[in-house]
């Protein structure tokens, strides 16, 4: 008769032998062969449709693109022309609210490019909201209103003004970028592009581009002409600095390169939201 100790030892030996046998059965034929291993196939990138030519781009319905500068109350010293560029905060809030209430959807430049070049669909009632010249009110007044309605905007930065009184700081520009707004170039010191000579381009475009890329950590790929003034001679320079598109104001687009002469409209501080919607429809016809 087996003692309790002998019974225990026998059980341990049986368990060990059974466990070893199970391990052996797990890979009865040894490690799997390379031919037996199934590797997931790499997804095949779908080719993009062919690029639209200039005539096709011009034939497409234009997206309304709004342009703002200062968002503050008027002062007695502000003349009629100044009030075209200065929008009181309550007027700006009303203008943005009517866009949201009317079902408009804010888009960004990459979406616009996909629509114009590849025919990618846009959301219903698309529009773009842009800000020029780096004024600090765009951050302190404009940003909260955009966030209230879930809109993203494009901020064209004149880099000579960064960190100066009344203008945005590097940290504010970085915050805008981090929040998903687009930071773009508006030259170094806002000189008229029509008057540039070859030596002006590194100062007015290359230097600001590098500075803004250092601030945001993102590529700077879009440009707005100071005063909205442009000429066809500027376009090869913009392309040489990898600018995908450039934005003017209300002139006709370049028939040979409409992507570097995209139209915008200034929204004066005298307009009601309803007036703005009416002008948008007339300035950017559907066909």
**Which pLDDT band holds residue 105 (cuts at 50, 70, 90)?**
very high
Show me where the domains of the chain are located. Answer: 62-73+81-283
Single out the residue of 213, 258, 216 nearest to residue 235, CA to CA. Answer: 258
SS3 9: helix
**Which pLDDT band holds residue 27 (cuts at 50, 70, 90)?**
very low
Single out the residue of 113, 10, 93 nearest to residue 52, CA to CA. Answer: 113
**Which pLDDT band holds residue 76 (cuts at 50, 70, 90)?**
very high
How many angstroms separate the CA atoms of 58 and 52, rounded? 10
Structure confidence at residue 49 (pLDDT): 76
Give whole-number Cα distances, 143 to 36, 57, 133, 149, 252, in Å.
58, 31, 15, 10, 31
**Which pLDDT band holds residue 42 (cuts at 50, 70, 90)?**
low
Superfamily of domain 62-73+81-283: Glycoside hydrolase/deacetylase (3.20.20.370)
Structure confidence at residue 29 (pLDDT): 54
In contact, 64 and 247? CB cutoff 8 Å: no
Summarize pLDDT for 109-159 with one digit per residue, the tens: 999 999 999 999 999 999 999 999 999 999 999 999 999 999 999 999 999
**Which pLDDT band holds residue 97 (cuts at 50, 70, 90)?**
very high
Instruction: Please give the torsion angle defined by the CA atoms of residues 223, 226, 232 and 238, in that order, rounded to the nearest 10 degrees.
Output: -30
Token match 């002008």: residue? 279
**Is the confidence at residue 47, as pLDDT, over 90?**
no
Region of 264 on the Ramachandran plot (φ > 0 left; ψ -120 to 50 alpha; else beta): beta
**Is the confidence at residue 3, as pLDDT, over 80?**
no
Range with the poorest average pLDDT among 41-45, 80-84, 184-188, 215-219:
41-45
**Is the confidence at residue 13, as pLDDT, over 80?**
no
**Which pLDDT band holds residue 45 (cuts at 50, 70, 90)?**
low
């Amino acid at each position: 008769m087996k003692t309790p100790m002998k019974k225990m030892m026998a059980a341990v030996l049986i368990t060990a032998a059974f466990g070893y046998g199970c391990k052996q059965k797990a890979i009865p034929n040894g490690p799997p062969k390379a031919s037996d291993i199934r590797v997931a196939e790499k997804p095949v990138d779908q080719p993009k449709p062919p690029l639209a030519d200039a005539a096709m781009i011009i034939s497409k319905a234009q997206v309304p693109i709004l342009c703002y500068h200062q968002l503050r109350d008027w002062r007695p010293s502000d003349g009629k022309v100044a009030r075209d560029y200065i929008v009181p905060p309550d007027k700006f809030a009303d203008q943005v609210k009517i866009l949201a209430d009317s079902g408009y959807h804010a888009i960004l430049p990459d979406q616009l490019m996909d629509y114009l070049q590849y025919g990618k669909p846009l959301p219903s009632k698309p529009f773009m909201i842009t800000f020029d010249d780096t004024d600090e009110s765009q951050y302190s007044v404009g940003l909260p209103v955009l966030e209230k309605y879930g809109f993203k905007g494009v901020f064209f930065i004149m880099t000579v003004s960064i960190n100066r009184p009344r203008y945005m700081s590097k940290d504010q520009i970085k915050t805008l970028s981090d929040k998903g707004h687009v930071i773009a170039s508006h030259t170094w010191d806002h000189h008229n592009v029509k008057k540039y000579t070859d030596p002006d381009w590194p100062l007015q475009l290359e230097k600001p581009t590098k500075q803004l890329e250092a601030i945001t950590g993102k590529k700077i790929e879009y440009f707005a002409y100071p005063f909205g003034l442009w000429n066809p001679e500027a376009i090869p320079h913009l392309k040489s600095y990898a600018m995908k598109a450039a934005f003017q104001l209300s002139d006709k687009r370049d028939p040979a390169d409409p992507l570097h002469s995209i139209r915008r409209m200034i929204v004066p501080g005298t307009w009601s939201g309803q007036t703005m919607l009416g002008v948008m429809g007339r300035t950017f016809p559907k066909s």
